[in-house]
Structure 1
Amino acid sequence: MINAVIFDMDGVIVDSEPFWQKAEREVFTSLGVEITDELRRITQRMTTNEVTRFWFKRNPWKNKGIEEVENMVIDRVIELIELENCLIPGVVDTIKELKSRGVKLALATNSPYRIIPKVLNKMNIIKDFETISSAEFEKKGKPEPYIYLSTLQKLNEKADNCIVIEDSNSGIIAANKAGIKVIAFTNGGKNLITENFDFKIPSFENVDYTIFESVK
């Protein structure tokens, strides 16, 4: 087996994209921002701070700072995660199986740090991860490679000994830039992935674990 698997979170461990859409629409429209689906797609893979600044630049609001509004969005997403069933089927079993085989597990996400424990605790998998990383603390989020480079350092592993599981083109680009092989999670074709990846899985149910045996 390889030494470590690095999981993305949104769209890989938790089906949270609808929650982000709902929270951003609620918060930004309450401030007078006109949100269109076309512009919303542009912001889809940005960090929360980048999204907030994007909408403020297009339609500045008054009486609330960027950080306050960003936290309003995050609070609403956390609320929805805690209320709704949003687990990606089979992913917990995959995590437990990899852990039982002695593989180190890490998480690297563009989401703000304070959302991560909410997700992992809800699914009772927080102790399975060697390290967790948020792009909130990096120079830039995905598609830049900083979060994956930081995660390699935390794991004390070389890129050749690890593999990333991603559901988005921006995440795959980030992993490619960091020199890490990628498993693209297509979620039954829901995720439209066009970037370079090394393996592809449509589901976490009935995973073929031979893809984790060697990535060199």
Structure 2
Amino acid sequence: MVVKAVIFDMDGVLVDSEKFWTQAELDVFSSYGVQVTDDLAEQTKYMTTQEVTEFWYKRFPWENFDASDLENKVVTRVIEMIQTENCTMSGVEKFIKNLKNKDYKIGLATNAPLRVAHAVLEKLQIHDLFDTIHSSEFENQGKPHPAVYLTSAKNLGVSPEDCIAIEDSQSGLKAAKEAGMQTIIFTNNDENIDSNLADFKILNFNTVFLPLFVE
């Protein structure tokens, strides 16, 4: 295998932002009478924003439901926290710059809306390092469906078999695997994360040896 492109997930890989989505759900949906419990919020963890909105509405329906307005409120709240909180994964900027210097094409494939992705890349000041930025909001299904990865590979002009995806979840790993890519799980120093779908493992971006995945 000759890796030509590296495609990153965003939440939990570039930024430690999953807690922001949970907080945004609590802030927004609680105001409509939704009982946002930890157990239920765990189920929405890897959904698209549209799927999250539908999830809560089905369980706690309320009057004057406006899905688009709710999604916008959640996304806006998340972006506010990304912009103001310290959430960057240590060493990730240098890691991506090293990949770029080795002539890998760089992509971003996320279930989050595109404007969140742009906010993250602007915060990290690495927007210009990415050759493609793609969101599941433009696909019929989000991860674990492989569509977002297949489109990202197409946008990069690289065969999926020549791409490797960096993910932090089983849902994301499954999406990349079904797209035909090799996978790296980023654990953020958590040794207990299930990595059975991953070909490689990165504990953190400060100690990884490049090229990790070149045979």
Alignment TM class, shorter chain as reference: over 0.9
Corresponding residue number in structure 1 for 2:41: 40
Whichever residue aligns with residue 88 of structure 1, its letter is: M
Corresponding residue number in structure 1 for 2:111: 110
> How far does residue 64 in structure 1 lie from its aligned partner after superposition?
4.0
Pairing of 1:80-119 with structure 2 (within 5 A)? 80-119=81-120
Kindly provide the CA deviation profile for residues 157-180 of structure 1, in whole angstroms up to 9, marking residues without a partner as x.
112211100000000000111110
CA–CA distance in 1 between the matches of 2:73 and 2:146? 28
Q: CA RMSD in A?
A: 1.3
Corresponding residue number in structure 1 for 2:213: 212
Pairing of 1:175-214 with structure 2 (within 5 A)? 175-189=176-190, 192-214=193-215
* TM-score, normalisation: structure 1: 0.96
- Is 1:167–1:191's contact at 8 Å kept on the other side of the alignment? no
Percentage of identical aligned residues: 49
Corresponding residue number in structure 1 for 2:28: 27
Corresponding residue number in structure 2 for 1:152: 153
* TM-score, normalisation: structure 2: 0.96
Kindly provide the CA deviation profile for residues 73-102 of structure 1, in whole angstroms up to 9, marking residues without a partner as x.
001001111111110001101001101111
Q: Which runs of 5+ in 1 are unaligned?
A: none
> How far does residue 190 in structure 1 lie from its aligned partner after superposition?
7.1
What SS is found at the alignment partner of 1:200?
Answer: strand
Corresponding residue number in structure 1 for 2:172: 171
Kindly provide the CA deviation profile for residues 88-133 of structure 1, in whole angstroms up to 9, marking residues without a partner as x.
0011010011011111100000000111111101111000000000
> How far does residue 138 in structure 1 lie from its aligned partner after superposition?
0.5
Corresponding residue number in structure 2 for 1:77: 78
> How far does residue 194 in structure 1 lie from its aligned partner after superposition?
4.3
> How far does residue 2 in structure 1 lie from its aligned partner after superposition?
2.2
Count of aligned positions: 214
Whichever residue aligns with residue 120 of structure 2, its letter is: V
> How far does residue 203 in structure 1 lie from its aligned partner after superposition?
0.4
What SS is found at the alignment partner of 1:157?
Answer: coil
CA–CA distance in 1 between the matches of 2:126 and 2:164? 19
CA–CA distance in 2 between the matches of 1:103 and 1:80? 31
